[in-house]
Structure 1
Amino acid sequence: MKPNLYTKMFLCGTLLLAGACSDDDEKPKKSTNISVVSFNIRVDNPVDGDNVWENRKAAAVTMIEYEQPTLIGLQEAQPHQITYLAKNCPDYAWYGLGRDTGECPPETDSYAAEECMAIFYKTSEVELLDKGTFWLSPTPDVPSKGWDAGYNRSCTWGFFRHKPSGRNFYFLNTHLDNSGTEARKRSLQLIAEKAKEFNSEAHPMFLTADFNSDTDETIFAPLFRVMHDARKLATITDDRATFNGYKETATRKLDHIFFSNCLAYRFKTLTQNYGAPYISDHYPIKGLFVIPRTK
């Protein structure tokens, strides 16, 4: 049986990975390394009691400082949360539009409700070349609610240049609807179509999201035709649940990282204490990838 494309890339990448250890501090060669975090930050909601944003926000910064991801896909991020992270993580710039207005969230220290699927990126490692947002609906070019979704849902994308290697790549970040079964199915079909449309030149591509679904569901079939599940294919990985609901026992894997045209070295669910018992009602997840130096 002929090896598939990912297998071929894995075999070709063996030399790059040979010197890498399991610790995040000892990674594959810097020239080809990209680390990605997906993080449902959880809206600022007073019903969370001791786990309100005010008690978690410093821990969110600590996580970013400790993990040092190249890119972060945030879900549920509100303007004042984005403002706090931007002020306290000066190594990062960000892009995103409000899911309801389609406008850039304002810089504010006061509570602001509209959610944004923001992308944070480390400016020393990557340069943003192009960007955009589409909505998960039959009218993706305008803020809109799709199918049986309970809320407007959007997908933020960026086209980046990786400074150490010179390679360009795409990064997408989204949040599927929590209540609309048909919406989740159609949203994944749309994302898969957009991924093919964007990436005709076969650049490396990453997708982060709270999918509100586990990848064993049939709705992921269109996405699996164009991208891979980092949790399943990473050389070093775990199978921990990501939704914890502020309880010690997490129950469901709802957060995933997909990728294409590169190698997944490590996948990790970030369950440690960064200064608060729970950084969110979801654990962040992190993927470490090796991109080819040249096409």
Structure 2
Amino acid sequence: MKKIVIYTLISFIFSVFASSCEDNKDNSLYYPDFTWDTGDGEEDEDPVTETSMRVATYNLQVETGTGWTNRRERVAQLIKDYDFEICGFEEASWEQRSYLGTQLASDYQILAYGRDTGNDDNKAGEMSGILYKKSRYTLLDAGRFWFSETPEIPSNGWDETNFKRFCVWGKFKDNKTQKEFYLFETHMPLADNARKHACQMLVDAVSDKAKDNTPAFCTGDFNATPDAPEIATTICQSGILKDAYREAAVQHGALFTFPSKKTRIDFIFVKHATVLSTRTIVSSLSDHYPMVIVVEI
């Protein structure tokens, strides 16, 4: 009798798991619920000032099945709950970009391009972009370039043969302080040689556009850990960009952004900015944890 009960229980568990997986073609259901650490405790609050900014990075995990339908409302809610004032995002399908653009339209504007064509439409391929509060920020200029030897046209670079990796950038004015700054959003190559070249191209782009004391932020999935040469040396020893996580006076949340390997591969790099705090949000809404910093420029 006990064996029958055990077998029945095991069969039930596997049937539930199989059902969930069948409706989870984009592997978004990493945990049985779509929860996140709300950080409501008084001791866990982010430091803020009258002029501080909240800058975030979020790998949305591209939609390839029905999983996005199950999590999209909570993704939009997380963005609002954590008050992402300006956020670089990557790995978005056209449907994901459109949903967030519509769902958050009362407060946010989206600047986005697809990596295959460089356009903002349903034929542009996987998208990266910048989500920003239109009451706080004004977009002054924007563009994109590819991490390749032909950066002005959609193209593969070096040993990254599968995907056309690129960078989306925007020049903004903070309506509260009237200060101007740049945000560069990227999804770095998986291939080692291409990623090394891409990180140098990113540093060069920041140096070229955000001249002198102009603040800048670089957000995204860098597909490399903090000790990788392209992060530790090319970027962090450039004399231009600093790792916000290491610069932060206060750190909240997880120690990593990619939970399946417990590594930190999502970054926010800053130029001419003071990082007050950083928070890595423990959430099962994507295969990456989003990160938000409080910063002064």
Structure 1 residue 55 and structure 2 residue 74: aligned?
A: no
SS of residue matched to 1:202:
coil
CA distance in 1, matches of 2:255, 2:58: 15
CA distance in 1, matches of 2:97, 2:112: 10
Structure 1 residue 232 and structure 2 residue 254: aligned?
A: no
Within the candidate set 231, 243, 258, 2:269 is matched to 258
Indicate if the aligned counterparts of 1:105 and 1:116 stay in contact, CA closer than 8 A: no
Structure 1 residue 202 and structure 2 residue 217: aligned?
A: no
Deviation at 1:79, TM superposition (A): 0.8
CA distance in 2, matches of 1:124, 1:206: 20
CA distance in 1, matches of 2:154, 2:213: 29
Within the candidate set 108, 117, 134, 1:101 is matched to 117
Deviation at 1:213, TM superposition (A): 0.6
Aligned residue in 2 for 1:139: 150
Deviation at 1:55, TM superposition (A): 1.2
CA distance in 1, matches of 2:147, 2:153: 10
Aligned residue in 1 for 2:99: 84
Within the candidate set 71, 82, 94, 2:86 is matched to 71
CA distance in 2, matches of 1:193, 1:159: 16
SS of residue matched to 1:87:
helix
Indicate if the aligned counterparts of 1:161 and 1:167 stay in contact, CA closer than 8 A: yes
Aligned residue in 1 for 2:193: 182
CA distance in 1, matches of 2:116, 2:102: 24
CA distance in 2, matches of 1:154, 1:219: 16
**Residues 173, 39 of structure 1: CA spacing in aligned structure 2 closer, same or farther, 3 A cutoff?**
same
Query: Equivalences for 1:259-278 in 2 at 5 Å?
Result: 259-272=270-283, 278=284
Aligned residue in 2 for 1:289: 295
Instruction: Give the root-mean-square deviation of aligned CA atoms.
Output: 1.6
Query: Equivalences for 1:6-17 in 2 at 5 Å?
Result: none
SS of residue matched to 1:74:
strand
CA distance in 2, matches of 1:22, 1:126: 27
Within the candidate set 169, 173, 194, 1:161 is matched to 173
Could you tell me which runs of 5 or more consecutive residues in structure 2 were left unpaired when the two chains were aligned: 1-42
Query: Equivalences for 1:24-35 in 2 at 5 Å?
Result: 24=46, 27-29=48-50, 32-35=51-54
Which AA in structure 2 matches 1:228?
K
TM-score by length of 2: 0.80
Indicate if the aligned counterparts of 2:166 and 2:187 stay in contact, CA closer than 8 A: yes
The list of structure 1 runs, each at least 4 consecutive aligned residues, that deviate by more than 2 angstroms after superposition, is none
Deviation at 1:257, TM superposition (A): 0.5
CA distance in 2, matches of 1:37, 1:53: 20
- CA deviation profile, 1:238-290 (whole Å, cap 9, x unmatched): 56111124xxxx51111010001110011110115xxxxx1100010111101
- CA deviation profile, 1:146-205 (whole Å, cap 9, x unmatched): 111131011000000000101000001000112x11011110011011111111232110
Which AA in structure 2 matches 1:237?
Q
Which AA in structure 2 matches 1:232?
R
TM-score by length of 1: 0.81
- CA deviation profile, 1:124-163 (whole Å, cap 9, x unmatched): 1000000000111111111011111131011000000000
Indicate if the aligned counterparts of 2:115 and 2:124 stay in contact, CA closer than 8 A: no
Deviation at 1:22, TM superposition (A): 5.4
Indicate if the aligned counterparts of 2:112 and 2:168 stay in contact, CA closer than 8 A: yes
Indicate if the aligned counterparts of 1:96 and 1:133 stay in contact, CA closer than 8 A: no
Identity of aligned residues (%): 31
Structure 1 residue 223 and structure 2 residue 235: aligned?
A: yes
**Residues 113, 43 of structure 1: CA spacing in aligned structure 2 closer, same or farther, 3 A cutoff?**
farther
Could you tell me which runs of 5 or more consecutive residues in structure 1 were left unpaired when the two chains were aligned: 1-20, 107-111, 273-277
Which AA in structure 2 matches 1:104?
D
Q: Could you say which structure has the larger radius of gyration?
A: 2
CA distance in 1, matches of 2:229, 2:83: 34
